[in-house]
Amino acid sequence: RRSAVMAAALEVGAKIINDVSALTAEPDGLNVAARYAAPVVLVHMQGTPETMQEAPTYDHVALDIFDYLEGRIAACEAAGIARQRLIVDPGIGFGKTMAHNLEIMRDVSLFHALGCPVLIGLSRKYFIAGLSAGETAVGRVPGSIAGALHAISQGVQIVRVHDVRETVQALKVWQAIRGDTPGT
C-alpha cells in the first residue's frame, strides 16, 4: 500500500500490484500504478490494518463493497489505468465479521458485474476456524479448499491460496466430477 514500495518492487521485477488499500493509502499510489504495466488488485478493506476489525459495519456488505470497488475502478481509469489491468478483491477478512465473510461468499458472483476479474483470498483465514474447531492456520486447509471451490463455482477467476498442491488436486477432482475439461 506504499507507493515507494510498489515502485521499488516493480523496478526489480514484481509482476503485479496487490494493494489492500485499493490505491488509497497514499496520494501517489494511483500515479505509480499508472506508470507501470502491471496488473493491479484492488482490495476492499474497511479501515486500516490496525483498525479494520474494530466493529466493522455495513448496510449490505456485498453491495457496499461493490459500490466501493466501482468507485476505485473509476478512479483508476481516470488516472490512466486501463480496466483490463484491474482485478477486484472484496477483501475476505479485511474489516469483516464472520457473517460478512459468509455473505460475501454467498454473493460473490455479484462482483462480476464490475467487468474485471474477481480474486478471492480466503486461504487459512481466521473465520474458517470460527466455523470449525478453532484450528490454527495450518489446520484450516480443508476449509480453505472448500471456500476456493465455492468461489470457482461462482465464476471467480483467481483464488489466492497457501496450499497450492492440495487445492489443485481438489480442483481437478471437482472438475472431473462435474465433467469439466481440466484447466478450464
* Separation of alpha carbons 133 and 157, rounded Å: 30
Nearest CA among 75, 82, 153 for reference residue 112 = 153
For residues 111 and 155, the answer to whether their CB atoms sit within 8 Å is no
User: How many residues in total does the chain contain?
Assistant: 184
Strands (E), 53-168: 86-89, 119-120, 158-159
Burial class (CB in 10 A: 0-12, 13-18, 19+), 142: middle
For residues 6 and 15, the answer to whether their CB atoms sit within 8 Å is no
Secondary structure class of 110 (helix, strand, coil): helix
Active site residues: 125, 160
* Separation of alpha carbons 64 and 121, rounded Å: 19
Burial class (CB in 10 A: 0-12, 13-18, 19+), 119: buried
